[in-house]
Amino acid sequence: MKIFICEHACIALPAGGKVLAPAGFRGDMLLEALLSDISRVGDVAVSILRAPDCNAIHTPRSTSVVPLHSDALTSVTACIRDADAVWPLAPESNGMLESISKTVLQHHKILLGSTPDAVHLAGSKYRTSQALRAAGIPVVPTFRAQANLPADPHAWVVKPDDGAGCSDTHIFSHRQAAQEWIGTRSSADYVLQPYISGRPCNLSLLCGDEDVFLLGCNDQRVAVSDNQFHYMGTTVNSIDDQDGELMRLARGVIAAIPGLWGYVGIDLIITDQGPVVLEVNPRMTMSHAGLHASIGANPAAMLFDMLRGGDCGMPAAGKNRQVSVDVDDHQARNRDSSLSVH
């Protein structure tokens, strides 16, 4: 099988130029982890596109690196046409992931990811909140910027409706300050959420047509500076889901958003009253960079086994190790230097 990994940096804006990733989305770091995993899968040939000015990354010898020409769209289209399947590696911001996914299906290729409809729903924090609430799943209330906010003594968080990670995410002590700040912005579609106190976490899922596998229960490291959130990294499998509460939550979320497939992440807050969903990522998250080392199994091989209709080889429970994935303000250049196994 010929696989093209379509990393978002290969996509050109309509007016030309590069697409910038949201804060906390390190495409190169995820790409290196994914290439390393796929290189260990038999009967799979991988190609990627790289521009001359992109950061240098480690690529296995088996990976075909195609030079990105000045016409990025032509290069991407050619790679899609030459592949049997395409693995989008992009954030949902600005419709990037949805657009790539639609293009793959338009070329009648296998999409190694969630459907465009699922990406469209999960790519909006407001739509996600509405869908999960309708399904009876505990979710952080999410309001449009123009909505009448409830009288709430807690702080308010403001973020782009289609943002990824902590991109442009701010906290304000009261709703008036939050709404006034939004009023000074002109371009982004912001939503507001009441600040929920608790333990920020992330679930790493592998989703098939009929089942969902919980590969990682992870702590998220988030800092606040100048009233803005900053994603610092993740500790993979630092949380023990002994009672199965997180697994049940994951199944409920997947059932509420049809079309989620492959790698999916769920961001949540563990409160004294239980877990509350913050958002759903219809794609790989940064936790994946430490997943293989944590579970002692190849996540990419599991996905291809599932794609071929076989047993995905879920690792034995209780064998996980804690793995730290550290993200700083600079693009990760060396995968090994960014991982710490405990």
Query: What pLDDT, on a 0 to 100 scale, did the predictor assign at position 221?
Result: 94
What is the percent of the chain with per-residue pLDDT over 90, rounded to a whole number?
A: 61
Examine the domain organization and report whether 222 and 333 are in the same domain: yes
Domain tally, the chain: 3
Name the phi and psi angles at 171, rounded to 5. Answer: -125, 140
Vertex 160, ends 159 and 166: CA angle to 5°? 55
Q: Is the pLDDT of residue 48 over 90?
A: yes
Task: Indicate the pTM of the whole model.
Answer: 0.90
Does residue 38 sit in the same domain as residue 13?
A: yes
236 with 273, same domain: the answer is yes
Which range marks the domain in which residue 170 is found?
139-194
Confidence of residue 316 (pLDDT cuts 50, 70, 90): low
CA atoms of 260 and 282, how far apart (whole Å)? 6
Residues 333, 231, single domain; the answer is yes
- The sign one gets for the Cα dihedral 48, 54, 60, 65 is positive
Task: Specify whether 184 is located in the same domain as 96.
Answer: no
Q: Which of 79, 113, 147 is the last residue of a domain?
A: 113
123: in domain = no
Q: Does residue 126 lie in a domain region?
A: no
Residues 6+ apart with CB under 8 A from 108: none
User: Same domain for 167 and 230?
Assistant: no
- Domain shared by 181 and 245, yes or no: no
Of 59, 78, 113, the one marking the end of a domain is 113
- Roughly how many angstroms between the first and final C-alpha of the chain, as a whole number? 36
Residue 121 is assigned to a structural domain of this protein: no
Residues 204, 187, single domain; the answer is no
CA distance 117 to 257: 9
What are the φ/ψ torsions at residue 302 (nearest 5 degrees)?
A: -65, -40
204 shares a domain with 185:
no
Contact (CB, 8 A) for 218 and 236: yes
